[in-house]
Structure 1
């Protein structure tokens, strides 16, 4: 088994497949989208492939080490940005191919008018062994 992170990107920029921003969806369309994701997670829970998931608020702060004293802080990301991390899901699957299959399925979550949103998902394997320095 190998763990993967499915990182959900909300793209505010026009998407040639489904370019309707979520703030223009009806409450029923938002509920259908959330239900799809919950049903997806429930199904993976039954197969033992689900590890964890979490949605993220659109507000955030960027922090970077700045030497002595308080680190520099920048407001953002903002919901108006072109690319926003909306949430994540961790899966534990038998193969990279299975991870791709699940990511593709999750990308088809319904959006405006019930049409698949073709959401951008970043698929990242967990680092299983720390890198070593060869001398």
Structure 2
């Protein structure tokens, strides 16, 4: 088994397939989207492939070490782009192909009008420590 992060990106600009930004969805459309993701997670819990998931608030801040005791702070989370990292899911699956299969399915979550949003999901394997040679 290998763990993967499915990182959910929402675009500030309209997506090519479902061109209604999420901040313009009706409450019912938002509820349907959230229910789809919840049902998806429940199914993966049943198969043992679900590890964890969280939604993220749209506001955030960039911070880095400034060297003088005062860290520079920049409003974020993405001051230079229209992307928003909306949340993540961690899965534990048998293969990279299975991770891609699940990410594609999650990308079909409904949006405005109940149409799949075809959102981009970033699939990232967890960094693992190589085995230590034994002597």
Matched residue, 1:105: 105
| Secondary structure of 1:122 counterpart | strand
Deviation at 1:120, TM superposition (A): 0.9
The range that moved more, 16-25 or 51-60, is 16-25
Tell me, in whole angstroms, the C-alpha distance in 2 between the residues paired with 1:111 and 1:5. 22
Listed as ranges, the matches of 1:1-135 within 5 Å are 1-77=1-77, 82-129=82-129
Gaps of 5+ in 2: 131-135
Tell me, in whole angstroms, the C-alpha distance in 2 between the residues paired with 1:31 and 1:99. 25
The range that moved more, 44-53 or 63-72, is 63-72
| Secondary structure of 2:13 counterpart | coil
Tell me, in whole angstroms, the C-alpha distance in 1 between the residues paired with 2:54 and 2:123. 15
TM-score by length of 1: 0.92
Gaps of 5+ in 1: 131-135
The answer (yes or no) to whether the contact 1:59–1:78 under 8 Å persists in 2 is no
Deviation at 1:49, TM superposition (A): 0.1
Show structure 1 runs of 4+ deviating over 6 A: none
TM-score by length of 2: 0.92
Matched residue, 2:133: none
Deviation at 1:66, TM superposition (A): 1.0
The range that moved more, 66-75 or 47-56, is 66-75
* Deviation by residue 1:30-50 (Cα, 9 ceiling, x = unmatched): 000000000000000000000
Tell me, in whole angstroms, the C-alpha distance in 2 between the residues paired with 1:65 and 1:32. 41
Q: How many residues align?
A: 129
Aligned alpha-carbon RMSD (Å): 1.4
